[in-house]
Amino acid sequence: MSSDAKTTKKRKALSSSADAEDAPPDDAASSSSAAEAQSPKKPPNPYDSIKHCIVDNDGSHDSLVKLIGLKSLFSRQLPKMPKEYIVRLVFDRRHRSLALLNPDPEVRGSDEEIIGGICYRAYPEMRFAEIAFCAVSASQQVKGYGTKLMNLLKRHAVTEGVDYFITYADNYAIGYFKKQGFTKVMCLI
């Protein structure tokens, strides 16, 4: 049996986080203004406080520094993956990456700035994206960053016209992807 498993993600999960954000809070505070009373305040989004960015190879210095940090992270966390393959995909102009950034200003611009990342390639004409790499720094694991990373990617994917994700996961990563709602059965509707 192969150590890889083909997985897919349906749109329902993509839109569920956006739908939850649009729901008004249960205990909206009363206001003295009629206009404010008609539009209830949205609850704070827990992902707004996380520093993150979408990085692509646009040739700018800042993007290249972040891509090098992502390449280093993927190389450290995915030791069985050939380094040349990681470099080729991370720096490919058709691939984009979502990077979680360390809020500490002392590590800005270094490899330690990137605490997690997902490298993917979107195929908007077919409404899906392939996740090539997904990793969180060893020192930052078991803190929920993997879930936050995937949820941020789902939110962003909607803006790119992506309804589905596919990926190939080794036996160690299958549990993570199942936790994120992926299945081994591919069913595009």
pLDDT tens-digit readout, 7-21: 333 332 322 222 333
pLDDT tens-digit readout, 116-174: 999 999 998 888 999 999 999 988 888 888 899 999 999 999 898 888 888 888 778 88
Catalytic residues: 130
Amino acid 181: pLDDT: 82
Residue of 99 and 106 predicted with greater confidence: 99
Confidence check: pLDDT of 40 > 80: no
Element (H, E) at 77: helix 61-77
Order the strands of the 128-136 sheet from edge to edge: 5-9, 164-169, 128-136, 114-123, 96-101, 52-56
- The two three-digit tokens of residue 115, written as one number: 């605490």
